[in-house]
Amino acid sequence: MPLTKSWVTAANDPDGPFPLDNLPYGVFSTDTLDPRPGVAIGDQILDMATAESTGLVQLTELPLFDAPYWNELMEEGPAVWAALRDRLTSLLKDGAPERAKVEPLLVPMAEAELHMPFMVCEYTDFYAGRHHATNVGTIFRGADNALPPNWLHIPIGYNGRASTVVVSGTDITRPLGQTKAPDAESPSFGPCRRLDIELELGAIVGTGNEMGEPITLDQADAMIFGYVLLNDWSARDIQAWEYQPLGPFQAKAFATSISPWIVTKAALEPFRVNAPERLKPLLPYLQDTGPMCYNIALEVEMAPPDGEAQTIARTNARELYYSSAQQLTHHALCGCEMNTGDLLGSGTISGPEKDQRGSLLELTWSGKEPLHLSDGTARSFIEDGDTLTLKGWAQGDGYKIGFGDCTGTILPAPTMPK
């Protein structure tokens, strides 16, 4: 479907990330405005708190946009989500009769600071990319034992830390921890030396289920409010020492970055695609009921201190073996209560080719094949001062559905208090 034209000129730029067909949700502030919900349109942000207080947008009797997060709208469910999207489209489309009322509520994006777009209730990280799982398994266990025996049957995941999910642009402090060299008799303590990224898609749960109540795949899909880019920063050397038998702990708890705009499921509907071919049949509760993955182009950029950013990987979200709806369905299967604001990380998204790998662990094959940057330096893993940026967009007919960058710069490890 072609671009829907807006009277906001920049929204009609075919290379811009925020056309009228997108309308992603974020939280912003300026020198004169406290943090409040906003909607990105072109190079502007529509102030939703003011739009609601003046009666321009009125969806429910109680206010939905008087707090600096989108959780209150998320709780209302798909009918209200759709009503808001319809109202925003009518206000911002080319020739809108209420343009004069809307124009004073637009804030230039260049003058705004972006904040966490929602309150994260709980965070679960999955391992749903087959190419990534195969690469990592090959590195650690050899090609014959790359995938665990359960991997082709269930979406594997672990419970992470909601407290350290941060918005793009937040600096990341290198973690401290225990590590153990293969030839050492005992572990040592110090800064992580094998710091890595994970290129992921994050699904945000809008409406939940009751404890003890499993859900179907179609119900799970309807519960998802939207998506963000997600970087689950990883301390590979800490992880290698701690993760058996219970899985990741401190190696994943120190930081997870997300992009600042929630791209709604409605905006991504035209970009649904089928999952990759199944290597083994899934049990009935996980079997696809239609296209559940998305055709979203993804990139990773690395910039050394005072150096230029360069793209080090390109892949696509369609490579995910398990969709977010399948991850959510499996998560709730045992009776686990899912809540508004729960965040599900997809796991690293990698493609079949070397330049499509979504982590440095894969790109450098555990440091054995370093990346060479344009400034003449090389990287096996991330060094202090490096900036990593995830980018993503769905390509439409003359427009893009963009997420906004997901960026973090690495600061040196702290000194332990005495």
Domain edge (last residue) among 90, 115, 140: 115
Same domain, 155 and 300: yes
The burial class, CB within 10 Å (0-12 / 13-18 / 19+), for 353 is exposed
Buried b (16+ CB within 10 A) or exposed e, 107-137: bebeebebbbbbbbbbbbbbbbbbbbbbbbb
Specify if 218 maps to a domain: yes
My answer on whether omega of the bond before 305 falls inside 30° of 0, hence cis, is no
Whole-number Å distance between alpha carbons of 340 and 262:
14
Domain limit, last residue, from 93, 115, 137: 115
Q: How many domains does the chain have?
A: 2
Q: Is 57 exposed, middle or buried (0-12, 13-18, 19+ CB in 10 A)?
A: buried
For 16-48, what is each residue's pLDDT tens digit?
999 999 999 999 999 999 999 999 999 999 999
> Does 73 reside within a domain?
yes
Q: Which domain holds residue 180?
A: 123-411
Per the DSSP assignment, residues forming a β-bridge with 388 are: 302, 408
Task: State which residues of the chain have pLDDT below 50.
Answer: none
Eight-state DSSP code of residue 284: G
User: Are the CB atoms for 208 and 331 separated by under 8 Å?
Assistant: no
Q: 308, 322, 324, 327: which is closest to 386 by C-alpha?
A: 308
CA atoms within 13 A on the CB side of 243: 14
Query: 103 and 19 in one domain?
Result: yes
What's the chain's length in residues?
418
From residue 53, alpha-carbon distances to 30, 48, 66, 109, 324 in Å are 18, 8, 8, 21, 35
Q: Please, are residues 140 and 273 in contact by the beta-carbon 8 Å criterion?
A: no
Residue 342 located in a structural domain? yes
Q: Please check whether residue 4 lies inside any domain of the structure.
A: no
Cβ distance 254 to 408 under 8 Å? no
- DSSP type of residue 90: H
Residue 2, domain member (yes or no)? no
List pLDDT tens digits, range 135-152. Answer: 999 998 999 989 999 999
20 strand-pairing partners: none
Question: Same domain, yes or no, for 152 and 84?
Answer: no
- Which of 58, 86, 115 delimits the end of a domain? 115
pLDDT at 418: 80
**Span between the terminal Cα atoms of the chain, in Å:** 62
Domain membership flag for residue 3: no
CATH of the domain at 165: 3.90.850.10
Active site residues per annotation: 132
* Sequential DSSP letters for 138-182: HHHH-GGG-S-TTTTTS--EEE--GGGEEETT--EEPPEEEE--T
Q: List all residues 6 or more positions away from 52 whose beta carbon is below 8 Å from its beta carbon.
A: 58, 63, 64, 65, 66
Whole-prediction pTM: 0.97
3-state DSSP assignment of residue 189:
strand
Residue 1 lies in a domain: no
- The CATH number covering residue 91 comes to 2.30.30.230
Residue 203 C-alpha from the chain's centroid: 7
pLDDT at 155: 97
Q: Is 369 in the same domain as 317?
A: yes
